[in-house]
Amino acid sequence: MLLFVLSRLLPVLGTQNCSNTYSNPILTKEGADPWVIRHEDYYYMTYSTNDNITLLRNKILTNWDSAESRLLYKPEPNRPDSTDLWAPELHYLEGQWWVIYTADPHYDQPIPELDMLCTFNCPAVNHRMFTLVGDGADPWTANFAFKSELNTYDQFAIDGTYFKHKTGLYHVYSCWDSKFESWPANLCVTKMSSPSQVASPVEARSTISRPTNGWENTPNNRTINVRLATNEGPQQLTNPHTGQEFVIFSGGRSDNRNYCLGQLELIGQDPMNPNCWKKHNEGCVFYQNPEEKAYGVGHASFTKSPDGKEDWIVYHGMRDPTNGWSARTIRTQKFTWNEDGSPKFPRPGYGPYEVPSGQ
């Protein structure tokens, strides 16, 4: 009887553990702006859900359809962060778990008296950056509560992230030059006194990248004006072999097939000094692959394989770019490093690919 039971169980167990390949997307339903972090024996993922912040937990990186899920935060109505919650990220800083995210008070629908002040129409004029803080060492059981609105000087701010450096903690985010100058969207950096507080006054805020290249505009090489010229979705990436620090960001418009990843490298010791950043102006470092119908690839985060030996990029992309934002799904692929220490990203696609080492 025991042999009979085992014979029926083994095929089931085998389907869970013996597959050595996977295919994209890693989450079947629509998803965008993914953030993945590995902590102890689990991967944790957040992404844009628009009306709340949801955390997923999973043992493996390459299939999230059956992942555990918990609601971290759902704001009440009539708050500055009540709607359009985008690009949440989970970080462990100063002995606590933090969530940083962007949101808007009213569905990106400013009143006409406000919209008319913008150089172009500006639905995101009220978007700002916010933080949550958890009360425990385990992100899965910690209770998260609203902590702060980050100071972005009462100006547009989206896609903020923490940049950790030996000189301190910094906030890097997508910004405008002024409150109503609705394009271009640049990358700004400010110094922080804590994960919930910005220390820099407005005059010290530094712009480290502007969308001046053709591939950062929509459509590509647009010259008529700067509408839709965009840098957003910055993410810190550290070369584990050389210690080189990069910010990988998204260029172009996120509902477009040409959306791609650009690269900044910190070549000095001061993240607040624009001259300490070297931009890869030659083109995108990760971009569409029409042969595989992988379009609009961007807004990435980075994690490790379970054994810590491999580097992986998690990003969103589209198979049918004519459907815009609703076509985005979450994917992942392994990447390596170039001889100069910069990331060597693969061509985006669907696979099948080998699963991460140690999975």
Report whether 62 contacts 45 (CB < 8 A): no
Whether the CB-CB separation of 154 and 118 falls below 8 Å is answered with: no
Contacts of 275 (CB under 8 A, 6+ apart): 268
Q: Structure tokens of 178?
A: 């002024």
Amino acid at 196: S
Distance CA 116, CA 122 (A): 9
Torsion sign over Cα 349, 55, 47, 200: negative
Q: Three-state SS for 6?
A: helix
- Please identify which residue in the block is written with the tokens 């899920």: 69
Cα separation, 286 vs 248, in Å, equals: 10
* SS3 category, 202: helix
C-alpha atoms less than 13 angstroms from C-alpha of 124 in its C-beta half-sphere = 21
Can you tell me the distance from the alpha carbon of 75 to that of 186, in angstroms, rounded to the nearest whole number? 28
320 is annotated as an active-site residue: no
d(CA 242, CA 135) in angstroms, rounded, equals: 35
Pairing of the two strands 206-209 and 231-238:
unpaired
The one catalytic residue in 81, 84, 104, 232 is 232
Q: Compute how many other C-beta atoms are within 10 angstroms of the C-beta atom of residue 164.
A: 14
Q: How far apart are CA 138 and CA 129, in angstroms?
A: 24
Residue 232 among the catalytic residues: yes
Q: What is the DSSP letter of 230?
A: B
Give the angle 223-227-228 at the CA atoms, nearest 5°: 105
Torsion sign across C-alpha atoms 292, 296, 297, 301: negative
Residues carrying an active site annotation: 33, 232
